[in-house]
Amino acid sequence: MIKRDRYRYIVFIADEKLPGKNVFVKQFTSLFCELFGEKILAFSKILILEYLQGKGGILKVRRDFVHFARATIAFYNANNVTLKVVKITGTYKKARSILSSIQIPSVKV
């Protein structure tokens, strides 16, 4: 019997203002492809579900490829913007509630 795909939802935030959604998706997928190749990109079924320009977003990825997605988040470095993974959840509902409740701390001293 073929098991159905299981997914994880990665909630991430940014410390600076992120670019527009289309630009971010393009940057993120090209970085993922550069690091792990087209095969992993295809099999991971990575998708940006929610994206708030000043805050962060939610990334949907197949469970077996969570570390690949997380490593790509660590590698993301456009215009000195760094991303931080807040939580990895099993449901979209939980991920949304976490993202809506987050307040972004400032790094400036």
Site for other proteins, rule CB under 8 A: 34, 36, 66-68, 70-71, 73-75, 77, 80, 82, 84-85, 105, 107-109
Given the complex with other proteins, which of 1 and 107 has the nearer CB atom?
Answer: 107
Taking Cα atoms as reference points, which of 32, 83, 34 lies closest to residue 62?
32
Q: How far is the CB of 48 from other proteins (least distance, A)?
A: 17
Q: How far is the CB of 1 from other proteins (least distance, A)?
A: 27
Given the complex with other proteins, which of 16 and 97 has the nearer CB atom?
Answer: 16
Q: How far is the CB of 15 from other proteins (least distance, A)?
A: 8
Given the complex with other proteins, which of 4 and 108 has the nearer CB atom?
Answer: 108
Structure tokens at 103: 């307040």
Full DSSP string of the chain: -PPPP-EEEEEEEESS----HHHHHHHHHHHHHHHHHHHHHHHHT-EEEEEETTTEEEEEEEGGGHHHHHHHHHH--GGG--EEEEEEES-HHHHHHHHHH--PPP---
Q: How far is the CB of 71 from other proteins (least distance, A)?
A: 4
Given the complex with other proteins, which of 1 and 109 has the nearer CB atom?
Answer: 109
